[in-house]
Structure 1
């Protein structure tokens, strides 16, 4: 591995770490304390943790991700698989740290604010990881697989997968919170597509600039 490749790899994993911390913050300070199952494995983990309180959200996410790792390696590829393994383990660790050491709490108990702010934060973190061919694991892996083998944008794939989680959240925490979860999932899917489009546009413009510089 050349020095440039090593620097690029370190930069990518640093970006993944930042994305994971952002997602974890949104889940633990907006979604979890307000019982908003905003899709994904983290949303399902909130549901399972409600019925099995002895299992933390971070632990459930870790178990679920282990089950899905093989799928990502086979159907998506090694690069995505390794990045996803790192991101999912890191997310479990960060969420457990926030929950057990920082003792997470609801920054706001206003459900509309919790949904909007939590989704903006989580969606931004997820978009950052998706943009460099990674994910935080869980249902994100399923969304990535659908995206790879279809023409559907990653955000809409995530929306389709997360509808099941929303239904489970609604049955567990009540219809009103289920509707808030649905709102979070819809906003999240649209937000991710928007952010990724902007990142890719900026990346393409930089590549064009480099090509022009090399041609001169």
Structure 2
């Protein structure tokens, strides 16, 4: 039993790490270099970093997450809290590594392509995290709380929370980029829901298969 529990935990954290790397890659190679504040704490971090260049995006995310950790433990629970702490610190580390060591750059300067590929990659990473009862921290925690205590699904919850960040991004980087950011936020919510639904379907099929074998 203990071996199975350890295997399940190891699998969850491996998937969570994959999700974090996807989110970091999407931000550092598509969003950040094109000044797309696509919602979340990462989007707000881009705005803050614009006004305070001495603070890296990864560092701002880490500071913001510390403020929100206590809320996640109290309102959602320890399992979500511990996974979120791991994911958020890992996200800050991976983003700083990509920025300072790999010297991340824009893989495309075409805004539509940056939004399309960046959003698909980031939303897939977020979907993986949410599907195993975790998040990458920041405003994702607020979205999870809204999802838990309301009838909104996680995608709509993310959209509602991220609208404020999009407005700030539009004011900071210009109306045109604000519109692109809004498109990114809407697409992000839809893709996150689709990824979660796919993962839950796979889990359900595995449970049904085990039940059939047991019978």
Per the alignment, residue 103 of structure 1 pairs with: 103
Q: 1:205 maps to what in 2?
A: 205
Hey, what's the Cα distance between the residues in 1 that align with 2:155 and 2:84?
Answer: 17
Equivalent in the alignment of 1:94: 94
> Which residue pairs with 1:176 in the alignment?
176
Give the equivalent residue in structure 2 for 1:27.
27
User: In 1, Cα distance between the equivalents of 2:9 and 2:197?
Assistant: 22
1:190 is matched with which residue?
190
Determine helix, strand or coil for the equivalent of 2:134: coil
Give the match for residue 126 of structure 1: 126
**Structure 2 equivalent of residue 137 of structure 1:** 137
Separation (CA, whole Å) in 2 of partners of 1:197 and 1:16: 17
Q: Which runs of 4+ in 1 moved over 6 A?
A: none
Provide the rounded CA distance (Å) in 2 between the counterparts of 1:212 and 1:150.
35
TM-score (normalised: structure 2): 0.99
* Alpha-carbon distance in 1 for matches of 2:195, 2:129: 11
> What is the alpha-carbon distance in structure 2 between the residues aligned to residue 95 and residue 37 of structure 1?
15
Q: How does 1:55-66 map to 2 (within 5 A)?
A: 55-66=55-66
Distance 2:137 2:120 in 1: 19
Q: Which runs of 5 or more structure 1 residues have no equivalent in the other structure? A: none
CA distance in 1, matches of 2:145, 2:2: 30
Aligned residue pair count? 215
How far the C-alpha of 1:209 sits from its partner, in A, is 1.3
Q: Deviations over 1:165-192 (max 9, x none)?
A: 0000000000000000000000000010
- Look up the match of 1:49: 49
User: CA offset at residue 202 of structure 1?
Assistant: 1.4
Taking structure 1 as the reference length, what is the TM-score of the superposition?
0.98
State the match for 1:163 in structure 2.
163
Considering only aligned residues, what root-mean-square deviation do their CA atoms show, in Å? Answer: 0.7
Find the aligned partners of 1:66 and 1:115 in 2 and give their Cα distance.
Answer: 28
Q: Within 2, Cα distance between the matches of 1:93 and 1:206?
A: 34
Aligned mates of 2:100, 2:112 — CA distance in 1? 26
Q: Secondary structure at the match of 1:156?
A: helix
Alpha-carbon distance, 1:54 to partner: 0.2
Structure 2 gaps of 5+ residues are none
- Supply the distance in 1 between the matched residues of 2:178 and 2:158 (Cα, whole angstroms): 17
| Whole-angstrom distance in 2 between the partners of 1:148 and 1:213 | 34
